[in-house]
Structure 1
Amino acid sequence: MKGKLFIISAPSNYELLSLKSIEALKVCDIVLYDDLIDKKILSFSKGKNIYVGKRAKAHHTDQSLINSLIEDSLRKGLTVGRLKGGDTAFFSRVIEEIETAERLNAEIEIIPGITTASLFSSILKTPLTARNISKGVIFITGHSADTDIENYYDFEAIVRLNMTIVIYMGVLNFEKIAEKLLECGMDKNTPVCAGESLGFENEKIICFELKNKECISLIKPPAIIVIGEILRREGVFDALCNRCRSRKARIFNT
Structure 2
Amino acid sequence: MPATPEPTPATPAYPVGLRLAGRRVLVVGGGTVVQRRLPGLLAAGADVVLVSPEVTPSVEAMAQAGELTWHRRPYEDGDMDGAWYALVSTDDPEVNTAAAAEAESRRVWCVRTDDADAATAWTPATGRAAGVTVAVLTSGTGDAPRDPRRTAAIRDAVVAGLGDGSLAVPGHRARTSGVALVGGGPGDPDLITVRGRRLLAEADVVVADRLGPRDLLDELPPHVEVIDAAKIPYGRAMAQDAINQALVDHAKAGRSVVRLKGGDPYVFGRGMEEVERLTAEGIPVTVVPGISSSISVPGAAGIPVTHRGVAHEFTVVSGHVAPDDPRSLVDWPALARLRGTLVLMMAVENIGAIAAALVAHGRDPETPVALVQEGTMATERRVDATLATVGERARAEGVRPPAVIVIGEVVAVGTRQ
Q: What TM-score comes out, normalization by structure 1 length?
A: 0.83
Which of 192, 208, 212 is the equivalent residue of 1:33?
208
3-state DSSP of counterpart to 1:23: helix
Q: Gapped runs of 5+ residues in structure 2?
A: 1-175
Letter in 1 for 2:248: E
Match of 1:82 in 2: 259
3-state DSSP of counterpart to 2:356: helix
Runs of 4 or more consecutive aligned structure 1 residues displaced over 4 Å after TM superposition: 58-61
1:121·1:128 contact (CA, 8 Å) conserved in 2? Answer: yes
- Between the aligned partners of 1:61 and 1:40, the Cα distance in structure 2 is 27
1:30 is displaced (CA, Å) by 0.6
Match of 1:16 in 2: 191
1:225 is displaced (CA, Å) by 0.4
Match of 2:342 in 1: 165
- Between the aligned partners of 1:60 and 1:85, the Cα distance in structure 2 is 18
Match of 2:394 in 1: 216
- Cα deviation digits, residues 112-170 of structure 1 (max 9, x gap): 1111122223223232112321111111101139x817953212211222110000000
Match of 2:379 in 1: 202
3-state DSSP of counterpart to 1:200: coil
Higher relative contact order (CA 8 A, sep 6+): 1
- Between the aligned partners of 1:32 and 1:162, the Cα distance in structure 2 is 40
1:8·1:83 contact (CA, 8 Å) conserved in 2? Answer: yes
- Between the aligned partners of 2:226 and 2:291, the Cα distance in structure 1 is 22
Letter in 2 for 1:221: P
Taking structure 1 as reference, are residues 24 and 61 closer, same or farther at Cα in structure 2, changes over 3 Å only?
Answer: farther
Identity of aligned residues (%): 28
- Between the aligned partners of 1:61 and 1:224, the Cα distance in structure 2 is 26
Match of 1:92 in 2: 269
- Between the aligned partners of 1:131 and 1:150, the Cα distance in structure 2 is 36
Taking structure 1 as reference, are residues 106 and 227 closer, same or farther at Cα in structure 2, changes over 3 Å only?
Answer: same
- Cα deviation digits, residues 40-81 of structure 1 (max 9, x gap): 212453421111127xxx999811211110111122222210
3-state DSSP of counterpart to 1:87: coil
Aligned length, in residue pairs: 232
Which of 149, 159, 182 is the equivalent residue of 2:359?
182
Match of 1:232 in 2: 412
Larger Rg: 2
Match of 1:250 in 2: none
Q: How does 1:98-137 map to 2 (within 5 A)?
A: 98-137=275-314
Q: Greater shift after overlay, 117-126 or 179-188?
A: 117-126
Match of 1:245 in 2: none
3-state DSSP of counterpart to 2:254: coil
- Between the aligned partners of 2:262 and 2:300, the Cα distance in structure 1 is 17
Q: Does 1:6 align with 2:175?
A: no
- Cα deviation digits, residues 209-228 of structure 1 (max 9, x gap): 11003212220122110000
- Between the aligned partners of 1:126 and 1:198, the Cα distance in structure 2 is 12
Match of 1:67 in 2: 244
Q: Gapped runs of 5+ residues in structure 1?
A: 241-253
Measured on the aligned residues, the alpha-carbon RMSD in Å equals 2.5
1:36 is displaced (CA, Å) by 2.1
- Between the aligned partners of 2:246 and 2:285, the Cα distance in structure 1 is 16
Letter in 2 for 1:36: L
Taking structure 1 as reference, are residues 216 and 60 closer, same or farther at Cα in structure 2, changes over 3 Å only?
Answer: farther
1:140·1:165 contact (CA, 8 Å) conserved in 2? Answer: yes
Q: Greater shift after overlay, 60-69 or 155-164?
A: 60-69
